[in-house]
Amino acid sequence: MKVLVINSGSSSIKYQLFDMTDQTVLASGLLEQIGEAESRLTHQTRSLRGGMEKITQTATIAAHQQGFQLIGNVLRDSGAMQDTSELFGIGHRVVHGGEAFRRPTLISKDVISTIRQLNPLAPLHNPANLLGIEVALKQAPQVPQVAVFDTAFHQSIPAHAFRYAIPKELYERYHIRRYGFHGTSHHYVAKQAAIHLKRPMDSLNLITLHLGNGASITAIENGSSVDTSMGMTPLEGLIMGTRSGDIDPAIVFYLGRETGKSREEVEALLNKASGLKGICGANDMREIMQRAEAGDEPAKLAIDMYCYRIKKYIGAYGAVLGRVDALVFTGGIGENAADIRAGACRKLALLGIEVDQTKNNTVSNEIFEIQSNNSSVKILVVRTNEELEIATQTVECILAMARARA
Ligand code: ADP
């Protein structure tokens, strides 16, 4: 049962081909710099011995349509898939599903037009995601295709958590509210945690922390998202690689007045030049940790601020949930940076959260626990796998539609 997962960006296409009978990755790749003089494809195929064989290729790819043709050719030539008739389905990552999409959805003309209406909410992402959908539909019209939304998991958040305290017309007319993102990752690691803890997901209260270049934290009550730190856009919440996260909104007006920067310049400053990068000049956590180790003060401050913000949110979500069964760390930083996990949990014994230093230094691809014996809350480290989750949800959606039609 082959399923192709596509994450289409404005100048890139990321893809993974799964055999969903055993969830193995048959091939994966990234085509970058579409529309530039030279585009670059990095492709990996599972070899007969079980490892991945890597090839890179450069070509001139003017647009996504040609990009998909190139990817189809590489999948065929590498023996991963002869043609699209072998596909059970295609799953597309779509960043913003607004209030229209609460779950993965089989793509139709109506679905495409609804996603298009949501473009103003995610102008950088949704148009690029749609481009991928339209080209894939042209190239494989017979294959069922499913849109999997980053926002969908958070549609269970109640109004008292998703509304902003601004005039209600702004919500009704302009759809200004908290949507939340990284939903596919939060959902995936929550399900993995439930399997690990041998508890039904709908009995669990979790705080999931996705700490990658972007970062967000979610409160999950009885298996459903009830609050999350990203808001109408991914700018709100935790300190991220280059995004500020929470700031006083009046800073935006002050900046405009005092520096003469345009709206677009301030938007770019908060999204691309702030966060860890703004504080210490680097946005890669490995580099920041090395610099802090060597005594660099801005790097040390960046780490302190990063952990402090996470800790505040853990406290807030502890209060939201009342009972927390487990904290779940994921994303490049959450999975790998033991010092950041420890820093984020420091002095949280009040909430029953305490890290064991030795367990925290574990390095593993499997789920592992890092709480001390005194900790009433489990603390888990779980590797996220958004592509596998999109493939899983694609299969579930196609099977559910087939059952509904039967
Ligand atoms: P994305 O959000 O782009 O998918 P990732 O989830 O891969 O990003 O996370 C990238 C971040 O993870 C970077 O800040 C990187 O420095 C950090 N990271 C990856 N490995 C380690 C590590 N071993 N120690 C500390 N940080 C790490």
Domain of residue 47 covers 2-149
Q: Catalytic site residue 284?
A: no
For residue 222, what is the DSSP state? T
Confidence band (pLDDT; 50, 70, 90) for 144?
A: very high
Confidence band (pLDDT; 50, 70, 90) for 311?
A: very high
Query: Which is catalytic among the residues 77, 83, 110, 150?
Result: 150
**Pocket lining: 332 vs ligand 1, CB cutoff 6 Å:** yes
Which atom of ligand 1 is closest in space to residue 287's alpha carbon? 16
Q: Are residue 98 and residue 206 in the same domain, yes or no?
A: no
Which two three-digit tokens encode residue 259?
């520096």
Q: Does any domain span residue 179? A: no
Q: Are residue 48 and residue 137 in the same domain, yes or no?
A: yes
Ligand 1 centroid to Cα of residue 254, in Å, is 33
Q: Are residue 94 and residue 31 in the same domain, yes or no?
A: yes
Q: Which residue among 124, 149, 174 closes a domain?
A: 149
Q: Which residue among 149, 183, 210 closes a domain?
A: 149
Q: Alpha-carbon distance 215 to 314, whole Å? A: 13
Q: Are residue 141 and residue 211 in the same domain, yes or no?
A: no
Which two three-digit tokens encode residue 78?
């590498």
What mean pLDDT comes out for the span 119-148?
Answer: 94
Q: Are residue 130 and residue 246 in the same domain, yes or no?
A: no
pLDDT digits (tens, 9 = 90+) for 52-65: 899 999 999 999 99
Q: Are residue 237 and residue 369 in the same domain, yes or no?
A: yes
CA of 296: how far to CAs of 285, 302, 356, in Å? 14, 10, 27
pLDDT digits (tens, 9 = 90+) for 186-222: 999 999 999 999 999 999 999 999 999 999 999 999 9
Q: Does any domain span residue 285? A: yes
The residues, ordered by sequence, that sit 6+ positions from 397 with a Cβ below 8 Å of its Cβ are: 103, 104, 105, 106, 146
* Order of strands, sheet of 105-106, starting from the edge strand that comes earlier in the sequence: 52-59, 39-46, 24-32, 13-19, 2-8, 87-94, 145-149, 105-106
- Residue 48, pLDDT > 90, answer no
Confidence band (pLDDT; 50, 70, 90) for 224?
A: very high
- Residue 124, pLDDT > 90, answer no
- Looking at residue 349, its pLDDT comes to 93
- Looking at residue 273, its pLDDT comes to 98
Among 123-132, 227-236, 239-248, 317-326, where is mean pLDDT lowest?
123-132
Confidence band (pLDDT; 50, 70, 90) for 406?
A: confident
Q: Does any domain span residue 31? A: yes
**Pocket lining: 285 vs ligand 1, CB cutoff 6 Å:** yes
- Looking at residue 47, its pLDDT comes to 84
- Looking at residue 139, its pLDDT comes to 92
Q: Are residue 63 and residue 211 in the same domain, yes or no?
A: no
* Order of strands, sheet of 206-211, starting from the edge strand that comes earlier in the sequence: 224-228, 215-221, 206-211, 326-330, 378-381, 368-369
- Residue 51, pLDDT > 90, answer no
- Residue 21, pLDDT > 90, answer yes
How would you class 80 by CB atoms within 10 Å of its CB: exposed for 0-12, middle for 13-18, buried for 19 or more? buried
Q: Does any domain span residue 189? A: no
CATH number of the CATH domain containing 215: 3.30.420.40
What mean pLDDT comes out for the span 83-108?
Answer: 96
Q: Which residue among 149, 181, 212 closes a domain?
A: 149
Residues forming beta bridges with residue 185, ordered by sequence position: none
Q: Does any domain span residue 180? A: no
Q: Which residue has the tokens 């305490």?
A: 354
Q: Are residue 77 and residue 137 in the same domain, yes or no?
A: yes
Q: Are residue 80 and residue 14 in the same domain, yes or no?
A: yes
How would you class 22 by CB atoms within 10 Å of its CB: exposed for 0-12, middle for 13-18, buried for 19 or more? exposed
Q: Does any domain span residue 274? A: yes
- Residue 49, pLDDT > 90, answer no
Q: Does any domain span residue 157? A: no
Question: How many distinct structural domains can be found in the chain?
Answer: 2
- Residue 159, pLDDT > 90, answer yes
Q: Alpha-carbon distance 85 to 87, whole Å? A: 5
Confidence band (pLDDT; 50, 70, 90) for 50?
A: confident
Q: Are residue 103 and residue 213 in the same domain, yes or no?
A: no
Helix/strand number for the chain, H first, E second: 15, 14
- Looking at residue 75, its pLDDT comes to 94
Q: Are residue 232 and residue 381 in the same domain, yes or no?
A: yes
Q: Are residue 113 and residue 212 in the same domain, yes or no?
A: no
Residues forming beta bridges with residue 148, ordered by sequence position: 93
In 3D, which of 96, 136, 137, 101 has the Cα closest to residue 119? 96
Q: Does any domain span residue 402? A: no
What are the b/e assignments for 336-358, b being 16+ CB within 10 Å?
A: bbbebbbbbbeebeebebbbbee
Closest CA to ligand 1's atom 24: 337
Among 78-82, 286-290, 293-297, where is mean pLDDT lowest?
78-82
Ligand 1 centroid to Cα of residue 190, in Å, is 20
Which two three-digit tokens encode residue 34?
């579409």
Q: Are 380 and 326 in contact (CB under 8 A)?
A: yes
